[in-house]
Chains A and B, each alone.
Chain A
Amino acid sequence: MQQLTMGQAVNQALREEMLRDFNVFIAGEGVGVSIHDNPLMPTAGLLKDFGPERVKDTPVSEAAIAGLAVGSSVMGLRPVVEIMFNPFVTIASDMIVNHAAKLRYLSGGKSTFPLVVRMKSGAGFGAGCQHSHNLEAWMAHCPGLKVVMPGTPADAKGLLKSAIRDDNPVVFIEDMMLYFIPGPVPEEEYTIPIGKADVKRVGSDVSIVSWSKMVGVALKGAQILAENGVDAEVVDLRTLLPLDRETLLTSVRKTGRLVVLHEATRTGGFAGEICAIVAEDALNSLKAPFRRVTGPDIPVPFSPPLERFYIPDENNLVEAVLGIM
């Protein structure tokens, strides 16, 4: 199996879908000629191979980029547009929240918007809180959108291919720190369905539910827990909307314990939704209170020790799990 970073895996998905379907084009700030010129970045080399008609560098205009996606998709194209960093989605959010998510419903199902908005997220690269702010819970609060956050290169490739082929608007959030970590990716053609969680580690004592970069942290934590006699199951949601309730509930009913781990800040974070679902539908299975391990309720700080403190790590996770064992 090939070893690819998530950036390379995304690049392969884009490349394959562009070869497969002329209606697929990409647009965004620096998707062609980039200030982040690096062969490991997701759109590296696409301009050279597909030309400026299909790889559109745009002005620094997030609303126009997202509007381009909405308008071109309703005409039958399959745009994959990039919002450079998750916090910049605020400028594009009218197009995503009020338009991409709602116009199909408003049309009574007559119009469709098969678009993908990719964005980088995650703290850890020292850019401060206006570049690092995980806003997936905002996006997941919008019926009409699908929200995907892969945690491995293989998932990123398979899920992005599904997102591009999906007839609904998909927000696809890639953690920047995963761009440079290699992992196995199948050589053959494959897709991964949106809305399906993946049990990344089978265990019997506690369900650790996570997504994106925190899946790796969860697996590291599970390893430490195993050394302490705790057999943790790691459920990678992969998609927040629509949520795979069945895999979540099956796991919690089996283990009887739940710890949700995400990098985003705590209050209003998506862990609250997971815990609420479990409390509503599997409370009787719980042997202990659920716990949330999240970023603290502060903007992502810049100073390296503070930024490291902000990002939940395996020690925070292990402590939380041991606290309910």
Chain B
Amino acid sequence: MQPSKEKLLEMLRTMLLTRCFEDKLMELCQIPGKVPGMMILCTGQEAVASGVCAALEQDDVIIPNHRSHGHLLAKGADPGEVMAECFGKITGCNKGKSGTLHIAVPEVNALCTTTVVGGGIPIAAGTAFAQKYTSRKSITVCFFGDGAADEGSFHEALNLASLWDLPVIFVCENNLYAGAQRHEEHTRIRDIADRAAAYAMPGEVVDGNDAGAVYAATVRARERALAGLGPTLIECKTYRCRGHGESDHQVYQPREEIEAWKEKCPLPRLRGEMLAQGLMTHEELDRLEEEIRKTVEEAVRFAEESPYPDVAEAFTDVYV
């Protein structure tokens, strides 16, 4: 199913927001003490989260991974609360206990985010099991990278999800690098989607820089899941334009490769398509970009002005 004009706008908006949000984080994490800890960005991969989440409903669950800003914002998380969490502030989504890496936003059914590579995949089978057990008309999407497909958890969970026809979509964001290892250095197979065959589920390769194609594949997989036909593995081919984290100098990524992929950046692509097709005017685009710039500025202001948690907060939420 091709996306409607509204869906295209929604995806463009999410992609612009994610890029603007992360560009700001990229800048802020260079200032000592401002945004503590690791900083992992999805620059260049925004079409995956935007395309997938545009095909989901509020009740659908997502289980993001360590590269999650795009997933969370696309599912509707509040940019101010996500930013405050990155700062480690009490007003953050998780009171500063997560930081950027494992933000949970149950309000939008992003129930948990995990940074253990492949860790979200068995959990997604579990949330999907609950959806089936309670006859909910909703599904789960699990986001993970190409590196996660080498974990045992991937294989255990796909096998179980297929065996029990669980309503889950496994979205592999193949950004060509698992840590410092290029695709062909960590697996012999060319397409991760081929692994779906081992578990008797459909495996689809999608241009992960084409938000519309990601959306269409997700709509198909979601319909299949809701019809009780079980899981789908969607491999979105994309590229990690930044390092694994911001402290990674990308010594192993050829400059020309990065430049070539920047040419294929999903953002100008969708923007260009929408302008060319007359789905929006330059003025409308300018207004949208201005609105997003203000949203991110407001998010940063909120994070900066918010207090850090009191030390006593360290002892809460360990147990119910």
Partner-B contacts on A (CB < 8 A): 25, 53, 56, 58-59, 61-64, 66-77, 79, 91, 94-95, 98-99, 103-112, 143-144, 146, 166-168, 242
Q: Are B156 and A107 in contact (CB under 8 A)?
A: no
User: What residues on A are CB-neighbors of B277 within 8 Å?
Assistant: none
Could you tell me if A111 and B111 are in contact, using CB atoms closer than 8 angstroms?
yes
Q: If the complex has contacts A63-B153, A64-B125, A99-B123, are A58 and B160 also in contact, measured as CB distance less than 8 A? A: yes
| Residues on A with beta carbons closer than 8 Å to the beta carbon of B114 | 98-99, 103
Min CB distance B105 to A, Å, is: 8
B39 part of interface (Cβ distance < 8 Å): no
Q: Tell whether A59 pairs with B163 under 8 Å between CB atoms, given A94-B119, A111-B111.
A: yes
The segment out of B96-104, B204-212, B250-258 that lies at the interface is B96-104
Tell whether, in the assembled complex, residue B133 and residue A64 are in contact, meaning their CB atoms are under 8 Å apart.
no
With A75-B126, A166-B320 already in contact, 8 other A-B pairs whose C-beta atoms are closer than 8 Å? A67-B122, A71-B123, A71-B124, A71-B140, A75-B134, A95-B119, A99-B112, A146-B319
Q: For residue B112, which residues in chain A have a CB less than 8 angstroms away from its CB? A: 70, 74, 99, 103, 106-107, 111
How far is it, in angstroms, between the C-alpha of A166 and the C-alpha of B113 when the chains are bound?
23
Closest to B113 in A: A106
The listed residue (B113, B133, B159) touching A25 by CB distance below 8 A is B133
Does B45 interact with chain A (Cβ within 8 Å)? no
Residue of B nearest to A143 (CB): B318
> In the complex, which residue of chain A has the Cβ closest to the Cβ of B140?
A71
Query: A110 touching B94 by the CB < 8 A rule?
Result: yes
User: In the complex, are the beta carbons of A107 and B129 less than 8 A apart?
Assistant: no
In contact, B122 and A77 (Cβ under 8 angstroms):
no
B residues touching A (Cβ–Cβ < 8 Å)?
61, 63, 92-98, 102, 104, 106, 111-114, 116, 119, 121-131, 133-134, 140, 152-153, 156-157, 159-160, 163-164, 316-320
Given contacts A74-B112, A98-B114, A108-B95, whether A64 and B317 have CB atoms under 8 Å apart is no
What residues on A are CB-neighbors of B316 within 8 Å? 109
Minimal Cβ-Cβ distance residue in A for B153: A63
Write out the residue numbers on chain A whose beta carbons fall within 8 Å of the beta carbon of B123.
67, 70-71, 74, 95, 99
Q: Which B residue sits closest to A70, measured CB to CB? A: B123
B104:A68 contact, CB within 8 angstroms: no
If A94-B119, A108-B93, A144-B318 touch, whether A71 touches B106 (CB-CB below 8 Å) is no
Which residues on A sit within 8 Å (CB–CB) of B159?
A: 59, 61, 64
Instruction: For B124, list chain A residues within 8 Å (CB).
Output: 71
- Which of B96, B116, B130, B318 makes the CB contact (< 8 A) with A72? B130
A68 touches B317 (CB 8 A): no
Given contacts A104-B317, A105-B317, contact A68 B122 (CB under 8 A): yes
Contact of A106 among B98, B152, B153, B163 (CB under 8 A): B98
> In the complex, which residue of chain B has the Cβ closest to the Cβ of A67?
B122
Q: How far, in angstroms, from A106 to B81 measured CA to CA in the complex?
A: 14
- Give Cα A218 to B216, complex, Å: 65
A242 to B320, CA, bound (A): 13
Cα A107 to Cα B97 in complex, Å, equals 7
How far is it, in angstroms, between the C-alpha of A69 and the C-alpha of B320 when the chains are bound? 17
Determine whether the beta carbon of B116 is less than 8 Å from that of A108.
no
- Interface contact A64-B157, CB-CB below 8 Å: yes
What chain B residues lie within 8 Å of A25 (beta carbons)?
133
CB distance from A239 to the nearest CB of B (A): 13
CA distance A126 to B114 in the complex (A): 39
Q: Is the CB of A98 within 8 A of B160?
A: no
Q: How far is the CA of A53 from the CA of B164 in the complex (A)?
A: 10
Contact of A106 with B97 in the complex, beta carbons under 8 Å: yes
A103, B125: Cα distance in complex, Å:
16
| A111-B106 CB under 8 A given contacts A72-B133, A75-B111 | yes
Residue from A58, A59, A63, A167 having most chain B Cβ neighbours under 10 A? A63
Q: How distant is the Cα of A225 from the Cα of B116 in the complex, in angstroms? A: 51
Question: Which of chain B's residues has its CB closest to A62's CB?
Answer: B156
Chain A residues, Cβ within 8 Å of B92 = 108
Q: Which of A73, A105, A166 has the most CB of B within 10 A?
A: A105
Q: What are the residues of chain A within 8 A of B122 when measuring CB–CB? A: 63-64, 66-68, 70-71, 95
Shortest beta-carbon distance from A60 to chain B in Å? 9
Separation of A110 and B95 alpha carbons in the complex (Å) = 10
Contacts of B319 in A (CB 8 A): 104, 144, 146, 168, 242
**Closest residue of chain A to B90, judged by CB?**
A108
Cβ–Cβ < 8 Å partners of B95 in chain A:
108-109
Could you tell me the distance between the alpha carbons of A299 and B80 in the complex, rounded to whole angstroms? 53
Chain A residues contacting B121 (CB-CB under 8 Å) are 67
Instruction: Name 21 A/B residue pairs within 8 A (Cβ), A-sorted.
Output: A53-B133, A59-B156, A63-B152, A64-B153, A64-B156, A70-B126, A71-B127, A72-B130, A75-B61, A75-B127, A99-B112, A99-B123, A103-B102, A103-B104, A103-B114, A104-B319, A105-B317, A107-B112, A107-B317, A111-B111, A111-B112
Other-chain residue from B94, B153, B163 in contact with A107 (beta carbon distance below 8 A): B94
Q: B127: shortest Cβ distance to chain A, in Å?
A: 4
- Report whether B152 and A73 are in contact in the complex, using a CB–CB cutoff of 8 Å: no
